[in-house]
Amino acid sequence: MKQNKIKFGLKIDLRTLAILIGFSAVAVGITYILYTYTQTLLKQRLQERIIAIASTAATQIDFKDVERVRSVDDLASSSLKKLVDQLNAIKAANKNLRYVYIMRRTNDPLVLEFVADAEMLATEEELDTNGNGIVEDEESTPLPGDPFEIADYPVLLNEAFYHPAADRDLEKDQWSVQMSAYAPIHNASGDAVAIIGIDVIVDDFLILTRATLLPFLLFVLFLVFALVLLTLLLVRVWSEKVEAVKELDRQKDELISIVSHQLNTPVTSLKWELEMLTDGDMGKFNDEQIETLKGMQNITANLADLVGMILDVSRIQLGKMKISMQELDLQKFFEEILNVIDPKAQQQSVEFIKNIPHKLPTVFLDKRLTRMTIENLLSNAIKYTKKGGKVVLDVRIDSGKLFCKVKDNGCGIPKKDQSQIFGKLYRASNVRNNVDGNGFGLYIAKGAIESQDGKIWFESEENVGTTFFIELPLRNHPDTDDHDTH
Ligand code: ADP
């Protein structure tokens, strides 16, 4: 894996980097959610507070005064004066109240009509909040009957005329951040004749939310830092463990390779010596002695096969499967195989059908590996088929490839075992306890065929039968003679 070296000399691979970025993104996401949630909660509390102020204020206003004030002509009326006094009293009683005003509905649902506000009767000096001697537009107060567009205030469209309500969002101007709340003013029969609105300065709310954000940010920083450290630590421990396991595995493969190599020589000599004895090269033996010697010969042959298999397995494991391409007369090659397999089929009372072309070419293949594979497939087909069953071998040469098909109507391979059947030492659950075997054969067969650039696969159904397929590219010259697979 590609390694990036970061400044302080720590090695970090791309996967670790991705994990760290993922962690950080999650941490930032959690903070954002917590922050927004806290902000929403605080905003709700604020809304409740200012809604309560607006509701109380609405109960203090006499609706008759509101109804009497209609236009600029009512500026000098006693009702307006009373309303303005009441609005100023409300303002004085509540800290941070910036504006208090009354508005009523008009025939146009998007336009309200101004009735009064606390500053309505203020002198010019009182209105000049900037203190620059001029009452600017934003400092001046509207007059009774002035229209007020409500398109930007959804709460005013209807809601505020039914029950006290507050704006969803804060509003910011050059002086402060505010939130507005409204409550209906009812007449004697309970109808809303107008609303009272209050704008409350909420700068302290912002200070509070910012203050809550800081601990959150610190928490996230700490979290990310802790996660980074933890991940790096875990990755380090994990890769050390993986390396250690790999090394152990390699040492085990080496050991198996050495042991099987060492065993191979004495077992082969033993085989020859026994053969010499049974052939009578060292004097005559009686029939009983010869029978015993033949038994020993069989055992030694099996032992030699097993050692050979272990050797092949360790070669495949170490990526050192030796391929030795040699000229091969396919006709003779299959005859030799049949000489071994025919007696096995007879012994097991299995019908063995061979569809082999009469003329086969001479090609270059690794004889030992190819023969071992085909013999293994045929032996398995016979071994896993009941007496009276049938095994068919089809051989075909096509487009420079050798195709072999070994089909039986035996016990089949259960679905759940099929994906592992080429694995080392793997035996299917339906034969594990009732048919002899060691699970090396197919593992080696796969290694043997694939190391010659061929393919091996199968189709099987439990209790119906199995078909193994081999496809081997043929060469008519030894171009890849003697090489190791890696
Ligand atoms: P084994 O020595 O067990 O036969 P192999 O590696 O040759 O080892 O085969 C692995 C497993 O594949 C077998 O144990 C068996 O479960 C399954 N198998 C192989 N060939 C056949 C077949 N023709 N019919 C049913 N099962 C088979």
pLDDT digits (tens, 9 = 90+) for 147-173: 989 887 888 888 899 999 998 888 887
Q: Is the CB of 437 under 6 A from ligand 1?
A: yes
Q: What is the pLDDT of residues 58-103, one digit of tens each?
A: 999 999 999 999 988 998 899 999 999 999 999 999 888 989 999 9
Q: What is the pLDDT of residues 7-55, one digit of tens each?
A: 444 455 677 677 778 877 887 787 778 778 877 888 888 899 999 999 9
State yes or no: pLDDT of 122 exceeds 80.
no
CA-wise closest residue to 329 among 466, 474, 457: 474
Residue nearest to atom 2 of ligand 1 (CA): 437
Could you count the other beta carbons within 10 Å of the beta carbon of residue 53?
Answer: 22
Worst-scoring range by mean pLDDT, 7-16, 108-117, 136-145, 161-170? 7-16
How do 351-355 and 390-398 pair as beta strands?
A: parallel
User: Ligand 1 centroid to 311 CA: how many Å?
Assistant: 19
User: Ligand 1 centroid to 264 CA: how many Å?
Assistant: 25
Q: Is the CB of 379 under 6 A from ligand 1?
A: no
Q: What is the value of pTM for the model shown? A: 0.56
Cα separation, 278 vs 272, whole angstroms: 10
Cβ atoms of 53 and 94 within 8 Å: the answer is yes
Residue nearest to atom 25 of ligand 1 (CA): 412
User: Ligand 1 centroid to 428 CA: how many Å?
Assistant: 7
Q: Is the CB of 466 under 6 A from ligand 1?
A: yes
Q: Is the CB of 377 under 6 A from ligand 1?
A: no
Q: Is the CB of 373 under 6 A from ligand 1?
A: no
Instruction: DSSP for 446-470, please give it.
Output: HHHHHTTT-EEEEEEETTTEEEEEE
State yes or no: pLDDT of 128 exceeds 60.
yes
What is the token pair recorded at 202? 């909420």
Cα separation, 484 vs 147, whole angstroms: 94
User: Ligand 1 centroid to 329 CA: how many Å?
Assistant: 29
User: Ligand 1 centroid to 439 CA: how many Å?
Assistant: 7
Mean pLDDT of 467-482: 77
User: Ligand 1 centroid to 403 CA: how many Å?
Assistant: 20
Residue nearest to atom 13 of ligand 1 (CA): 427
Q: What is the pLDDT of residue 450?
A: 93
Q: Is the CB of 427 under 6 A from ligand 1?
A: yes
SS3 assignment, position 400: coil
Question: Per-residue confidence at 480, pLDDT binned at 50, 70, 90?
Answer: very low
Mutate to test the pocket of ligand 1, among 418, 426, 431 (most ligand atoms within 8 A of CB): 431
Q: What is the pLDDT of residues 202-214, one digit of tens each?
A: 887 777 777 777 7
State yes or no: pLDDT of 123 exceeds 50.
yes
Residue nearest to atom 8 of ligand 1 (CA): 439
Find the helix packing angle between 441-450 and 287-317, rounded to 10°.
Answer: 50
Mutate to test the pocket of ligand 1, among 421, 430, 449, 469 (most ligand atoms within 8 A of CB): 421
Residue 443 CA: nearest ligand 1 atom is 6
Residue nearest to atom 21 of ligand 1 (CA): 380
CA-wise closest residue to 359 among 395, 412, 321, 403: 395
Cα separation, 126 vs 438, whole angstroms: 104
Strand (E) or helix (H) holding 198? strand 192-201
User: Ligand 1 centroid to 461 CA: how many Å?
Assistant: 13
Q: Is the CB of 431 under 6 A from ligand 1?
A: yes
Mutate to test the pocket of ligand 1, among 408, 427, 443, 463 (most ligand atoms within 8 A of CB): 427
Q: What is the pLDDT of residue 196?
A: 96
